Amino acid sequence: MSSADFREPWFRLEGESARTFEQEAATEIAAGHELHGLALAAVAKCEGCDSVVFRLSDDTFAIVHLSWIRKPEAPPWPRTTRLGGFIAVEMAMDQHEH
């Protein structure tokens, strides 16, 4: 990821704030979910909804709309958009709407 700040409504997640979203994602993503078995590192959060950009342990990215139910979700939830590389991430962030 570049060190530049993200465009609104996205803001960078680091340190403790990133851990919060990584832990909730790990809780919600159950066996059978397309991201199950991958480690997720939180990169950015939308300030207008619960969408979070994660870098995955296979070096791809995903935008996950967390449910905040604090227990395993029923796949395919939490709703997930997988993105191959950072250019795809930037496009998805630019096109993100509510």
Task: Give the x-and-dash track for 50-69 against Zn ion (CB under 5 A).
Answer: -x------------------
- Burial state string for 55-81 with b = 16 or more CB within 10 A and e = fewer than 16: beeeebbbbbebbeeeebbebebbebe
Provide the minimum distance between the beta carbon of 80 and Zn ion in the complex, in angstroms, as a whole number. Answer: 14
Query: Using the rule CB under 5 A, is 7 a contact of Zn ion?
Result: no
- Cα–Cα distance measured from residue 50 to residue 70, given in angstroms and rounded to the nearest whole number: 13
Query: Using the rule CB under 5 A, is 85 a contact of Zn ion?
Result: no
Provide the minimum distance between the beta carbon of 13 and Zn ion in the complex, in angstroms, as a whole number. Answer: 14
